[in-house]
Amino acid sequence: MSKSLALLLLRIALGVTFLWAGTGKLFYKQAFTPEQAAALANLGIVEAPGPSGPSPDAGASPAPPEGGGEKKPAMRDRAGVMVIPARADRAVQVGSLTAENFPKGVERLRLYGLVLVMDRAAKPNAAGQAYWPGFAASGRVMEGLAWGAAITEFIGGALILLGFLTRVWGLALAGTMGVAIWLTQIGPNLGNPANFLMVLPDPKMSDAAWTAVWNTLLWQFGLMCTGASVALLGAGGISLDGLLFQKRKAPAAKPKAGIERPI
C-alpha cells in the first residue's frame, strides 16, 4: 500500500506539471517579437506579409503583359528559390525576411516557441557548434516536432494522472525532458571551456541570474528522473493500470487439518 501511495504522489506531480505545460502550448497564444516572426516566416511557418506602404503606382491600372493574357505571379526566381507573391506586381522571397516585414510581430500558439528553440540549436553556438541535426532543421519538420512535444505533454500528463499506460507515458515524458535539457541547457553550453564540465552553465551561486538558470535545469532534471522512475516502477495499485491489468491474487487455501492417528 505504501508503494502505491508513493507512486500516486509521483504521478500527481508529473501529471499536473505536464498537463499544465501542454495546455499552455496547445490552447494559448503568445506574442512573438518582429525578429521571432521573421524567423518563423523564413522557415515557411508564418505567412510573409506584403511590403509596407503603398505601391508607387497604387491606384493606377496595371499595364497588360506583352503578348496579351493574364499575368501570373512567378513562383520561383532564376536561382530556383521559392518566392511568395505579396501583390500583383511584387514578391517577397522566403529566407530574406527581416523584422521590418513584421513591425507588430505576430501572435501564434505558444508551441511555436519550441520551433524557435530548435531553429536556434541548428545554428552554431558560442563555441561554433550546432547541436541540432540538419535533417530535422527544416521548418515543417520542426513544426511537426513541436506539435508532437505539446501533444505528448498534454495527453501524457492526463494519462499519467489517471495511471493508464503509465510506463509508456512515463518514458515519453522523460524523453521529452531529456530533449528539453539538451536544447536549453547542455547544447548552448557545449564545447565552451568556461562552462562547468564544458556542457553545463557555470555554477556561480553568488549570482542570482546564474542561480535562476540552474533552477530551471534542476527542475527539468527532476521531471526527467520522475518520468523515468514511473516508467520503471509502473503506476501502482491506485491507478487504471492497477484496476485493469494487475492480476488479482487468489486467496490462500486453508491447510487441511491433519488426521490424528491413535497412539
The pLDDT score that the predictor gives to residue 68 is 52
- Average the pLDDT over each of 56-70, 150-164, 215-229 and give the range with the smallest value: 56-70
pLDDT(52) > 90: no
Q: Are strands 83-87 and 90-93 parallel, antiparallel or unpaired?
A: antiparallel
Per-residue model confidence as pLDDT tens digits over 11-33: 999 999 999 999 999 999 999 99
The ranges assigned to domains in the chain are 1-28+111-244, 30-50+76-109
Does residue 96 surpass a pLDDT of 90? no
Residue 81 has pLDDT above 60, yes or no: no
One-letter amino acid of 69: G
- The secondary structure of 135-176 as a DSSP string is GG-SHHHHHHHHHHHHHHHHHHHHHHHHTSSHHHHHHHHHHH
Least trusted range by pLDDT, from 19-23, 110-114, 144-148, 189-193: 189-193
* Cell 535545469 belongs to residue: 217
pTM score above 0.85: no
Please, how many CA atoms are within 13 Å of residue 50, restricted to the half-sphere of its CB? Answer: 9
Phi and psi torsions of 87, nearest 5°: -145, 180
Average pLDDT, the chain: 83
C-alpha cell at 42: 523564413
Q: Which residues of 118-157 are buried (b: 16+ CB within 10 A; e: fewer)?
A: bbbbeeebeeeeebbeeeebebeebbebbbebbebbbbbb
